[in-house]
Structure 1
Amino acid sequence: MLVSTKRLRQVRDAVPPQQCLLPTECEFYQAYNWCLNPFPTVLEATDHLRGEIDKLKAVPHDWRAGEVVNNVFLLSCALLNAVDEYLRGPTLRMPRPLAATRLGHSARWATERLTGILPQRHRAQARRWRERWRAGLDDFLTIVVAGQLSDPTPFAETGSKLAKLLLSPLPPDLQTEHVGVPTPFRRLDLTHFDVVALGQRFAQRFPNRSEAILVLGLRTSGSYFAPLLRAFLKTEGYQTVSSLTVQPNKGLGRWERQELRRCAQRGFTALIVDDAPHTGGTVVLGLDMARRAGFAPDKLRALVPAHPARRDCFGPLSENLVVSLEAEQWHKHRLLDQRLVEGRLAEYFQHQNFANIGLVASKSAGEFNARLQDSSRGDRGTRLKRIYEVHLKTPQGQEETRYVLAKSVGWGWLGYHAFLAGQRLSGFVPPILGLRDGILYMEWLPQSPLPQDMHIAEDDHTAREARIDRSASYVAARVRHLGLGTGPASRKGLRRDENGFRLLQKVLSRAYGRIVTDTLMQPRLERRLCEQPCPFPTLIDGKMGRDEWITGSPGLLKTDYEHHGMGKSELNVVDPAYDLAETILTLALSPDEESRLIRRYVEQSEDAGVEQRLFMHKLLAGFWAMNTAQEHLFGKPLVADRQQEFHHQLMSAWNFLTVHTARYCGSFCRPPQALDWRSPLVALDLDGLLDRRLFGFPCTSAAGIEALSLLNAHGFSVALNTARSAAEVKDYCHAYHLAGGVAEHGSYLWDAVGQRERILINPEAMVQLDELRSHLRLLPGVFLDDRHQYSVRAFTYHDKPRGLLSSLLKSARSFSIGGGAPAPLPTLVMHHLMKSLGLDRLSFHHTTIDTTIVAKDVDKGTGLSVLRDWVLRPDAETIAAGDSEGDLPMFRAATHSLAPANIDCVREARLLGCQIVRHPYQRGLLEIAHSLVHPDGGSCEHCAEGKALRPGGPTLFLELLQAADESRARNLFRGLFDPAVFKIFVR
């Protein structure tokens, strides 16, 4: 049920324009500006912990005391996790099946011996520190598990002991490391109360207190769970309780293996503890590690909370093996009980001078919650949230109705960023009421059912400009108010949690070659990425899509503003250029609109150099969108409309990357002196000649840029003749200063000189294409590229392959950013459709990534002939260049034809008189260009002018485009002899 428009206006008008927050909360959270960065160094975390321990002596005996105690627990375990990771050290990176063999064990043993020689003194120092710290932390956590967090008095003495231990320094190289983000307390709605509840369930099911227990925590979460469970089990009377944490992906270190074997020989029961699993594979791996260390099957237990999206992770395992805690019994679920929320909201609204506050279980609130549940993906990253209808009455008797969203944002200091961001971005986000116990309370503004209130119409120019301006101002406000100082990014290298830059590094390394060479060159690319400037490190939003905005009294308001940018599974990029890039992507901004966005942002942020950083973040935004879309496509089963939604997201990102990369490369290409149609007309194919799918989407290389510059400098008219869509041909003509082109296999002509178009296929073929589209859309698992209007591009998606060999084959695919890749439809399906529908005016063929359906009476040859007659004259000279069987009709229609060495129909092309040059792809195009401007092999003054222009000097992306033209052997040699190449083999 949708609330009426009239009532919505009343609700909106009742929302106060300025937030009215409790002074106690403002004063408390304002002291935690450092929590905007969830990745402090060990040294910074130590300083923060020292400050929290000092607060135990003076904090009031209320909710603030509990928060300080939580922070001491979280920061103490963060240090413990960092020390354990330091002591484990690096290990050899290898597939798990190989790591389980004797050869794998030997290789890892050798690696650990080699990497452990130098820092032995530091390791001994860290090991002694850890033992003292664990003992002191045991005393502190013993009081924590008792549950009296609001009284800081019992913590004062144990806190003083911890403070004294902090005076002992950790090794200098460890102090510069960053602490890991604990997923359960940042993202999964868990609290330390839930860890204690798991321990209580274990104690009830296994009451034998004389049984020796080893709490085996799987890092990172295990570093927080294990000490707490150890303290709890001791208070429950278990006589022998030990703890150990391991990193399953690294395997067991020598000391860890010895400790596990010792406990197994002494008859300990191993309790594997971890956060709510995604697939359960890590917990099973931990169980298997303990089994191989000597623990009998009846001496193994797993203590894990059950996430609502992954309840069946351990279905095949014995019930006696797993102790779980259902999500409905988590602490934060209980905090959302209506009676508790009513008491909390009474405190907030009484501060706003309301006398009576009541929560109503209305049908409207129920509908809002149902839609909220439907709109969320229901995956492991979905936050706990609920909407309440609140009836308010002022002392004067005036009644109001408000809606409040209660949303989990983290535990302890890991959630304070939500309050700070909500307060500092007032006017750009829905008004917040307060933050308590990891639950953020904020106004929920119901949206009108009218389409114009839900989305800005694309043809409403004024409204679109307002959206652009609002987005720019919002990003600038984050720069002004949510700056991170030096930022969390380490300039020593890309950390494991910097997911955005790791994805960028992985994809861009393909410029050097596939399968092996790209991997070897990643350390080199890592160094170059780390050199990219970031003058305004900021807690970015990280999700600037259209559906993330709502309408409110101040204008457009940003929802979910606090947790997309940073976290264990988030981007962890700190450059506001990313938010601008994603805005350009999601709003599909034109060049003029993009200029407006950047201009407005610079005016309000003083970030004058953002344009120099923008293109690399455009790449990242497109890669991240494609990767995310494919993860959802191959994630849990989705209904058909959700599959199509993620497909459209992927195709939008693909198109964004293609067009904006063409614009970027075109800015380095010398434009013609005057855009005009002249003879001879040079018609170029796109894919395989000007473009390659170097990075998972089509783009040219440095040689392609130089080839076009050379042709432009010598006065050639250059046109495209391609299977790409009409829209792409227009974009490419604008980007590369081309005269026009033929699109969609000869179906469409574009004259960029005269800004006119011409459709070549007949109406009967258009009707059949529309009919085929409608039937293909009904087939499950079939997707269309909607950019094509005069042909049909249909495909399905293949999931990522399994096994080492399959993974190598996947890495060689030209279209792949995430785990899957598109593939053509089965031939039998297409034959059946064409025959049953009587589509006699159409034909189809398969490419490497899709099935293309075109009109029978047009092809690239007819398209070139009609274009020549249309813009020149029938006897004008035409030169065609292509690389595939689809280009043969163009060769037949042209006066001359040429092809690069990668052409896939050599015999047929030569029979048509085609000249095949020595080099493939863009280097072949450059060779073709040289042969056209100087058939005798000479040169002239225009040749120097035709060299690719380099405004502003060389850039990282241009360096990659140059590397793409190098031979694979040369790039492989450079990678093998890079001093940092060993980094790819360790983690």
Structure 2
Amino acid sequence: MSHCTTPAPVRIASEPLRVTNLLLTGTELSALLERAVASEQWCDAFLVSAGMLQLADDRLHPDPFQLRRAASYLRKRASWGGKAAGLGAAALAGAFDVRQWDRCAQRLRAASSVLADLTSLLASTLLRPAPITPESSELGVLVAEAVAAAPLLGADVARIPACFGDFDLHPDDVRALAGKLHQLPEVTRGPVCVVGVRTSGSYLAPLLAAALRHLGVSDVRILTHRPTHPFLSWEGQTLRRTARAGGKVIVIDDPPATGTALATTLKAIAATGVPHDATALALPLFTDEAALPAPLTSYAGAFLPWRQWSVHDRLAEDAVSGTLSELLGADWSVDRCVRRKEDAATTGARDHVRGRYTAQLTRRSTGEAQQRELVVEGAGLGYLGEHALAVAEPLRDYVPRVYGVVAGLLYRDWLPGPPSAADEMGLSAAITAYVTHRQQALPADTDCTPRMRGREPVWELAAELLSRPLGWASPAIRGLLEPTTRRLLTPSRLSVVDGATTPSRWFGDPAEPGRSRKVDFYQGATGHWALPCYDAVFDLAGAACEPVSPGFADLLRERYEALTGERPDEERWLLYRIAQLWRLGRSGDLEPHAVDRHSAAAVHDFLAACYLDDLRAPTGPVCAVDLDGVLETDRLGYPCTTPVGMMALRALAAHGYRVVLATGRGLDDARDRCQALRLSGAVVEYGAAVYLHEDGTTIDLRDRQEQALLDDVRSQLMRRGVPVLPTHVYTVRARLHGGPLPPDLVAEIPLLSDPRLRLVHGQGQTDVTAARLDKSTGLTHLTQSLHADGIAFAIGDTAADVTMLRAASVARAPRNADDVVRAAGVPLTRRSYQWGLADACAAVLGHRPGRCPVCRVPALPARTRDLLALLGLSEPGVSTLPLQAARVAVRALRPEAPGADPRRLRGRLLLRG
């Protein structure tokens, strides 16, 4: 067993590559490779070479027709039909997967071998104290062969590795893992095969192999694996030979969250015949202990806890002080640099680390003393981090002062806090100015997102979100939706987007009071939460996802139009908003209830623009409509209406009826609907309060005794740890384990049996309200406030609606109504949900909504009709699905441009993958 002294830290070469667009093809990477090697930028050369290796390995493991991705999705479904469909998709993918035998695959394998050798050499060069020179014959030959092989990589776009792009790992950390592995006897007495889980594994595995070789392990091989794909036959042979020779298969990846991807790779290794005890892990962790997710606990290996990551050494006060001194230049001295203690985290997060520092500076030429507040934050290794400087320079008037990037850390000024939320005019001006300037300053030559299917470009995510109502069949239907969403989201002008533009990311500048600057100006476009896109309107829509006022989204669009002469069309505006909101929810930047609320508002804004903009405010009889199960369903993942529901509202309004809501939901939801759908008012929380939209007033119908009772109920539930939803103010909405309160808990609280209170048990919650109040009493107050003579028409579907239905001149219930409504003798419509609402409107108006000159919908552009067809998939009812799917398919096959051949487009639909 060989031993070595502690190696010197890896030094990252100065003046690395700087590119504004990190989504690069193999040919583009090969050009960067030549530049990096010529200038001895070994870190960048390694990163670029590893990116090309990832492209080659992915092409060697194709996913025909996206069948493997569909199989992975379907196998996670709870239904037996979904699991069976997943097994079928995986089998079909295996039948199609014959590329490893053809001539092109042989050339690809040769190219992959060259890239693997080059990446290994560059990894070794990066880790060893004395790097080789560009004139090295071996290096020169490998670089030339890699550049020549670049066309074989096709037009695919390399993935950004989370390890060096999104997290703050460093080659020193991989070397530390190698040192821990080297202490295991089985690693030093036999061959080793390092398996990197792609994408990060394409970068980590060569570094780990090089570090092990430096420690004296002579026989080290490298493979990579994407969890959704099986190993090729020759890869399985390599794994088996390693195990039979008494060696070790070592799997390396990013710090695990759930461990699912790693467990899938370990299962695939075992399927090749490698015993469990011949497999080990090499993992950095985001915890301070070697605590692994449950699927990984049975495996031994080497682990690097969060506190042992080398980034903490680079964030130490002395290290920051020395680096800052170099960045400021010879005229400045750093007298003192102190890190704020509250920035010291005990565990890591799946994001970049950052620290705030106070630096005392002296200018040598004048003796001037200054104090500066700084932020040092992870930006990415090599050219992945230098991307921040490439972006910051043309945006310097809109972002904090940036000093530089050193060893993956960006140094910039700290900004004291966000601007006032009340200053919506100033904030909207700052955001639109930034978005439009970025569009001009960071143009892009090509839109590579059509080649990124399977990686959630924004058009693909939009299709996925709109296909949600189809359940396990959504992967099949999504293929029909994608051509339409891609066409709808084609930008008029290409630029490198920010990707994270919510108002909370704008901060005031103390040097220029009243001015806002953008932080996180480089991470959002390519990070692990990014949605690839090249449209500045995407950034504008992102700013509308966290509105500071009800009219903030409209204000952004108006200012953007004033600056560019282009008003974002309704279709792009909707799809970008729901995609951005989904991203904010997945990343945890926005609470789930806020994501649902703003997503519904985006859908309603679009539908209202289609169906209501040409109508005057009605002044006739009042119609009461229930929300859940009637006007809205949650098949998109959040409650909202559909084109059919909006058509019914249009018909009623066009014929003079004033529509009001009667719902158990909270005031915010009702106010949003009244604002977006041009409704006259609402009865909220089962009649506990009334909202008048014309003047925005809310009337609390509870007396003081009822208010005190409900406050007491809320307190008792919270003391027992029962989640009480903040959405309800006039009643108490509580849920336990995602459902209503269980009977035993209700029995434990005597107050819930008080006859002055009433419990309404729903599917996902229990509402506690005043027994005296219901939707009928609320509508009485509302109609009086509207100076209307009673309720002309009402529709509802649950027991809470019965009193309202009995009080109406005409009452209907949709086919999905519960047993209590049926027993009350309320006439049922022929169909359910929004289709049932349309049937009920026909009974009131004497014709189907939209079938007369008064309520007929004006001619809509083809783009608008396309998106309405996609939204129509969320309308419940099996009988309507074939028709809706057929409409989507026909529109998907429409030529994308004048003169396009529909037959060629149809071929692209069938062969895409």
Using the size of structure 1 for normalisation, the TM-score is 0.80
Q: Aligned equivalents of 2:295 and 2:668: distance in 1? A: 52
Q: What letter is aligned with 2:146?
A: L
Q: Aligned equivalents of 2:120 and 2:698: distance in 1? A: 77
What is the DSSP-based 3-state SS (H/G/I as helix, E as strand, rest coil) of the residue aligned with 1:863?
Answer: helix
Q: CA deviation at 1:147?
A: 2.8
Q: Is residue 495 of structure 1 aligned with residue 425 of structure 2?
A: no
Distance 1:897 1:306, change over 3 A: closer
The answer for the alignment partner of 1:813 in structure 2 is: none
What is the DSSP-based 3-state SS (H/G/I as helix, E as strand, rest coil) of the residue aligned with 1:668?
Answer: helix
What is the DSSP-based 3-state SS (H/G/I as helix, E as strand, rest coil) of the residue aligned with 1:915?
Answer: coil
Residue in structure 2 matching 1:795, options 710, 727, 735: 735
Q: CA deviation at 1:860?
A: 1.3
**Deviation larger for 602-611 or 315-324:** 315-324
What is the DSSP-based 3-state SS (H/G/I as helix, E as strand, rest coil) of the residue aligned with 1:878?
Answer: strand
The answer for the alignment partner of 2:780 in structure 1 is: 865
* Residues 477 and 605 in structure 1, CA contact (< 8 A), matched pair in contact too: no
Kindly provide the CA deviation profile for residues 778-826 of structure 1, in whole angstroms up to 9, marking residues without a partner as x. 453514133x332232335x5xxxxxxxxxxxxxxxxxxxxxxx43333
Distance 1:873 1:562, change over 3 A: closer
The answer for the alignment partner of 1:560 in structure 2 is: 520
The answer for the alignment partner of 1:543 in structure 2 is: 500
Q: What letter is aligned with 1:197?
A: A
Distance 1:942 1:967, change over 3 A: closer
* Residues 36 and 45 in structure 2, CA contact (< 8 A), matched pair in contact too: yes
* Residues 645 and 835 in structure 2, CA contact (< 8 A), matched pair in contact too: yes
Q: Aligned equivalents of 2:89 and 2:530: distance in 1? A: 33
Residue in structure 2 matching 1:683, options 624, 630, 640: 624
Distance 1:895 1:594, change over 3 A: same
Aligned counterparts, 1:710-749, within 5 A:
710-749=651-690
What is the DSSP-based 3-state SS (H/G/I as helix, E as strand, rest coil) of the residue aligned with 1:749?
Answer: strand
The answer for the alignment partner of 1:948 in structure 2 is: 857
Q: Is residue 895 of structure 1 aligned with residue 851 of structure 2?
A: no
Q: Aligned equivalents of 1:210 and 1:917: distance in 2? A: 77
Q: Aligned equivalents of 1:158 and 1:550: distance in 2? A: 51
* Residues 517 and 971 in structure 1, CA contact (< 8 A), matched pair in contact too: no
Q: What letter is aligned with 2:402?
A: I
The answer for the alignment partner of 2:464 in structure 1 is: 506
Residue in structure 2 matching 1:829, options 723, 745, 749: 745
The answer for the alignment partner of 1:358 in structure 2 is: 335
Q: What letter is aligned with 2:462?
A: L
Q: CA deviation at 1:893?
A: 1.4
Aligned counterparts, 1:730-879, within 5 A:
730-752=671-693, 758-780=699-721, 782-786=723-727, 788-796=728-736, 798=737, 822-833=738-749, 835-836=750-751, 841-872=756-787, 878-879=792-793
Q: Aligned equivalents of 1:45 and 1:476: distance in 2? A: 29
Q: Is residue 960 of structure 1 aligned with residue 870 of structure 2?
A: yes
The answer for the alignment partner of 2:794 in structure 1 is: 880
The answer for the alignment partner of 2:603 in structure 1 is: 661
Q: CA deviation at 1:550?
A: 2.7
Distance 1:770 1:440, change over 3 A: same
Q: Aligned equivalents of 1:189 and 1:731: distance in 2? A: 42
Residue in structure 1 matching 2:426, options 466, 469, 476: 466
Kindly provide the CA deviation profile for residues 328-373 of structure 1, in whole angstroms up to 9, marking residues without a partner as x. 443333323333332222222335x33x322244xxx334525xx4
Q: How much is the aligned-residue C-alpha RMSD, in angstroms?
A: 3.8
Q: Aligned equivalents of 1:789 and 1:528: distance in 2? A: 42
The answer for the alignment partner of 1:518 in structure 2 is: 474
* Residues 861 and 890 in structure 1, CA contact (< 8 A), matched pair in contact too: yes
Residue in structure 1 matching 2:102, options 97, 116, 120: 120
Q: Is residue 163 of structure 1 aligned with residue 143 of structure 2?
A: yes
Kindly provide the CA deviation profile for residues 449-506 of structure 1, in whole angstroms up to 9, marking residues without a partner as x. xxxx666254xxxx332222222222223223233332441x25633253x5554333
Q: Aligned equivalents of 2:399 and 2:631: distance in 1? A: 45
**Deviation larger for 130-139 or 696-705:** 130-139
* Residues 671 and 709 in structure 1, CA contact (< 8 A), matched pair in contact too: no
Q: Is residue 930 of structure 1 aligned with residue 842 of structure 2?
A: yes
The answer for the alignment partner of 1:132 in structure 2 is: 114
Q: Aligned equivalents of 2:72 and 2:579: distance in 1? A: 27
Q: Aligned equivalents of 1:967 and 1:32: distance in 2? A: 53
Q: What letter is aligned with 1:301?
A: A
Q: CA deviation at 1:521?
A: 0.9
Distance 1:520 1:289, change over 3 A: closer
Q: Aligned equivalents of 2:163 and 2:751: distance in 1? A: 55
Q: Is residue 32 of structure 1 aligned with residue 18 of structure 2?
A: yes
Distance 1:417 1:915, change over 3 A: same
The answer for the alignment partner of 2:898 in structure 1 is: none
What is the DSSP-based 3-state SS (H/G/I as helix, E as strand, rest coil) of the residue aligned with 1:424?
Answer: coil
What is the DSSP-based 3-state SS (H/G/I as helix, E as strand, rest coil) of the residue aligned with 1:456?
Answer: coil
* Residues 749 and 867 in structure 1, CA contact (< 8 A), matched pair in contact too: yes
Distance 1:483 1:775, change over 3 A: farther
* Residues 497 and 569 in structure 1, CA contact (< 8 A), matched pair in contact too: no
What is the DSSP-based 3-state SS (H/G/I as helix, E as strand, rest coil) of the residue aligned with 1:943?
Answer: coil
The answer for the alignment partner of 2:585 in structure 1 is: 626
Distance 1:954 1:215, change over 3 A: closer
Distance 1:777 1:540, change over 3 A: farther
* Residues 713 and 751 in structure 2, CA contact (< 8 A), matched pair in contact too: no
* Residues 216 and 222 in structure 1, CA contact (< 8 A), matched pair in contact too: yes
The answer for the alignment partner of 2:897 in structure 1 is: none
The answer for the alignment partner of 1:45 in structure 2 is: 29
* Residues 864 and 893 in structure 1, CA contact (< 8 A), matched pair in contact too: no
The answer for the alignment partner of 1:817 in structure 2 is: none
* Residues 42 and 122 in structure 2, CA contact (< 8 A), matched pair in contact too: no
Q: CA deviation at 1:72?
A: 0.9
The answer for the alignment partner of 2:397 in structure 1 is: 427
Aligned counterparts, 1:351-390, within 5 A:
353-354=331-332, 356-361=333-338, 365-370=339-344, 373=345, 378-385=348-355, 387-390=357-360
* Residues 218 and 248 in structure 1, CA contact (< 8 A), matched pair in contact too: yes
Q: Aligned equivalents of 2:646 and 2:782: distance in 1? A: 24
The answer for the alignment partner of 2:420 in structure 1 is: 456
**Deviation larger for 392-401 or 69-78:** 392-401
Distance 1:856 1:559, change over 3 A: same
Distance 1:383 1:985, change over 3 A: farther
* Residues 143 and 155 in structure 1, CA contact (< 8 A), matched pair in contact too: no
Q: Aligned equivalents of 1:261 and 1:214: distance in 2? A: 10
The answer for the alignment partner of 2:443 in structure 1 is: 483
The answer for the alignment partner of 1:529 in structure 2 is: 485
Distance 1:316 1:919, change over 3 A: closer
What is the DSSP-based 3-state SS (H/G/I as helix, E as strand, rest coil) of the residue aligned with 2:403?
Answer: strand
Q: CA deviation at 1:122?
A: 1.0
Residue in structure 1 matching 2:541, options 571, 581, 590: 581
Unaligned runs of 5+ in 2: 1-11, 77-82, 894-905
Q: Aligned equivalents of 1:76 and 1:94: distance in 2? A: 31
Q: CA deviation at 1:695?
A: 0.8
Q: Aligned equivalents of 1:970 and 1:894: distance in 2? A: 30
* Residues 259 and 294 in structure 2, CA contact (< 8 A), matched pair in contact too: no
Higher relative contact order structure (alpha carbons within 8 Å, sequence separation ≥ 6): 1
Q: Is residue 81 of structure 1 aligned with residue 60 of structure 2?
A: no
Q: CA deviation at 1:85?
A: 1.5
Distance 1:347 1:603, change over 3 A: farther
Q: CA deviation at 1:37?
A: 2.7
Unaligned runs of 5+ in 1: 1-24, 57-64, 448-452, 633-645, 799-821
The answer for the alignment partner of 1:692 in structure 2 is: 633
Q: Aligned equivalents of 2:299 and 2:797: distance in 1? A: 63
Q: Aligned equivalents of 1:182 and 1:873: distance in 2? A: 63
* Residues 282 and 302 in structure 2, CA contact (< 8 A), matched pair in contact too: yes
What is the DSSP-based 3-state SS (H/G/I as helix, E as strand, rest coil) of the residue aligned with 1:244?
Answer: strand
Q: Aligned equivalents of 2:266 and 2:682: distance in 1? A: 62
Residue in structure 2 matching 1:596, options 532, 555, 562: 555
Residue in structure 2 matching 1:304, options 268, 283, 287: 283
What is the DSSP-based 3-state SS (H/G/I as helix, E as strand, rest coil) of the residue aligned with 2:148?
Answer: coil
Using the size of structure 2 for normalisation, the TM-score is 0.86
* Residues 466 and 871 in structure 2, CA contact (< 8 A), matched pair in contact too: no
Q: CA deviation at 1:316?
A: 9.7
Q: Aligned equivalents of 2:614 and 2:308: distance in 1? A: 69
Q: Aligned equivalents of 2:165 and 2:612: distance in 1? A: 50
